[in-house]
A = this chain, B = another copy of it.
Amino acid sequence: MNVAQLQAHFAAQQNRFVREWQDFLRFPSVSTNPAKTEDCSACARWLMAHLEPMGFTTRLVPTSSHPLVFAERAGKKNHPTVLFYGHYDVQPEDPVELWKTPPFEPTLINGRMYARGAQDNKGQLFAALKAIETLVQSNALNCTLKILIEGDEEKGLTPVLPVLQMEKTALKADIVMAADTSAVSSGAPTITMGLRGILTFTATLSGPDHDLHSGVHGGRIPNPANALCRLITSLHQDDGRVAVPGFYEGVHEPSVEERALANAQPIDPAWYQSVTGVLPVGGEQQYTPVERSGFRPAIDLNGIHSGYGGAGSKTIIASRAMAKISARIVPGQDPVRILQLICDHLQKHVPPGLVLEISEAVPGGPAIRGNLSSPAITVARQVLSEISPLPTAFLWEGASVPILSHLPALAGGEAILVGFGSEQDNIHAPNESYSIEQFRLGFLYTGLFLGRLGPR
């Protein structure tokens, strides 16, 4: 189907699409709320019932939390296999008093649907499902399509990852698609070409077995709080580079084209300061701010706590000091190895008399980075140029999407991440919304992309 056919179909079916989308949004499928367990299951069963008439073989896969919906439809020989990922769970609706319309009574106002999950991820997901339905009905879906819709994305990776690892064979695909990202602020269609990986751990440095008088003991014993600051400082050189030996070994440098495309979406310092309160002047100065978060790994303190924090002074040497540390990693860095390197470096620098304990160490997942010259990306670029007059933007995100760290490797395919979210959608906040126009763009993109994937 070409863009005009898809547009005509959307116009004809829009009212039905909206009604069904509202049915989907009415499930209060809040994965972190134990009282909503049955709502999550009901939502998963509704999705199964929705996919089956479209010719999919479906099954519910139990997890330690909410079930996964897995659907598969065989395509033509020699055509690629696509794994489409989405999630049916939503963020909690709190604070509910700030909503202008009830969060689970989806309401269309001036072309925008207001509801929890209107965008994240039910809106973006359902636009794609309607495109798939359209292709199936028109006998225009040639690839083998696998659909994985989980119910724990807002809760974390723990319930789902072990199940996915067991289902590795079923997940096998050439392309992993997800519609869970955003477009750049101009509204230009956007391909998210990369996500950083993540690892987190807690470092606790202990010395005295109780808080000591800083007068009696100051200058005589190693102060755990001072020493932890010194340890954390030892992670970086003065110029902002990470000082952990081996940390940069194997890091994939961006190509000239990648740098150019990334820097085509520059960060305006004044705008950045107006929204964050700070200038983008940290880190490795030989890279632009966009490059630093897109292509370079970073180690950040997420928290540090020791001793007194109230008003005035309390002259103690605290018995211990604790830091929450995370690293964002890039392609070429294995999370398990980098975690080990950082912890080894810290252990090596512990001063005499103190003991460092590493706990809650989680090698969250590796980075992903797309290949600009892959056939699938070429198709995505072509398709996006047909649905928008604006030139396609390419983003290498600094953030991590844990499941998307793992899915491409589990499936053995490349990730193609195109989403139409925008800042004004207020995801994770009261009055979440998604416009019919964004929904329509997601529909057109998915329909054109999947329809255009030819034999390999």
Please give the residue numbers on chain A whose beta carbons come within 8 Å of chain B beta carbons, in ascending order: 196, 198, 200, 202, 207-210, 212-223, 225-226, 228-230, 232-233, 236, 267, 276-284, 289, 292-293, 296-298, 300-309, 311-319, 321-322, 324, 326, 328, 351-354, 360, 362, 397-400
Query: 4 smallest A-B Cβ distances: which pairs?
Result: A209-B277, A219-B298, A215-B399, A303-B307
10 contacts between A and B (CB under 8 A): A214-B302, A219-B300, A220-B267, A221-B278, A225-B300, A225-B304, A304-B307, A304-B321, A311-B360, A313-B324
Residues of B within 8 A of A317 (CB): 300, 302
Residue of B whose beta carbon sits closest to that of A327: B218
- In the complex, what's the smallest C-beta–C-beta distance from A205 to chain B, in angstroms? 11
Residue of B whose beta carbon sits closest to that of A293: B220
| Bound-state Cα–Cα, A220 to B360, Å | 26
Contact B397 A283 (CB under 8 A): no
- In the complex, what's the smallest C-beta–C-beta distance from A426 to chain B, in angstroms? 16
Contact B328 A223 (CB under 8 A): no
Contact A217 B398 (CB under 8 A): yes
Q: Contacts A215-B400, A322-B309; is A282 near B232 (CB within 8 Å)?
A: no
- In the complex, what's the smallest C-beta–C-beta distance from A123 to chain B, in angstroms? 22
Contact A278 B313 (CB under 8 A): no
Residues of B within 8 A of A362 (CB): 313
Contact B300 A309 (CB under 8 A): no
Residue of B whose beta carbon sits closest to that of A236: B226
Residues of B within 8 A of A221 (CB): 276, 278-283
| Bound-state Cα–Cα, A321 to B232, Å | 14
One complex includes copies of this chain to the number of 2
Contact B301 A220 (CB under 8 A): no
| Bound-state Cα–Cα, A222 to B298, Å | 11
| Bound-state Cα–Cα, A354 to B311, Å | 23
| Bound-state Cα–Cα, A313 to B199, Å | 10
- In the complex, what's the smallest C-beta–C-beta distance from A286 to chain B, in angstroms? 12
Contact A232 B222 (CB under 8 A): no
| Bound-state Cα–Cα, A226 to B327, Å | 13
Which of B222, B232, B315 is A229 in contact with, Cβ under 8 Å? B232
- In the complex, what's the smallest C-beta–C-beta distance from A285 to chain B, in angstroms? 10
Contact A293 B225 (CB under 8 A): no
Most chain B C-beta atoms within 10 Å of own C-beta, residue among A304, A306, A308, A311: A304
Contact A278 B218 (CB under 8 A): no
| Bound-state Cα–Cα, A283 to B314, Å | 21
| Bound-state Cα–Cα, A317 to B293, Å | 14
Contact A326 B315 (CB under 8 A): yes
Q: Contacts A276-B209, A313-B326, A315-B302; is A229 near B233 (CB within 8 Å)?
A: yes
Residues of B within 8 A of A315 (CB): 198, 200, 300, 302, 326
Which of B200, B223, B300, B318 is A226 in contact with, Cβ under 8 Å? B300
- In the complex, what's the smallest C-beta–C-beta distance from A235 to chain B, in angstroms? 8
Q: Contacts A226-B236, A399-B213; is A302 near B276 (CB within 8 Å)?
A: no
Residues of B within 8 A of A283 (CB): 219-221
Residues of B within 8 A of A300 (CB): 214, 218-219, 223, 225-226, 315, 317
| Bound-state Cα–Cα, A289 to B222, Å | 12
| Bound-state Cα–Cα, A306 to B228, Å | 13
- In the complex, what's the smallest C-beta–C-beta distance from A233 to chain B, in angstroms? 4
| Bound-state Cα–Cα, A212 to B399, Å | 11
Which of B218, B230, B278, B328 is A293 in contact with, Cβ under 8 Å? B218
Most chain B C-beta atoms within 10 Å of own C-beta, residue among A226, A289, A309, A317: A226
Which of B293, B301, B307, B354 is A217 in contact with, Cβ under 8 Å? B293
Q: Contacts A207-B278, A279-B353, A282-B219; is A308 near B313 (CB within 8 Å)?
A: no
Residues of B within 8 A of A280 (CB): 220-221
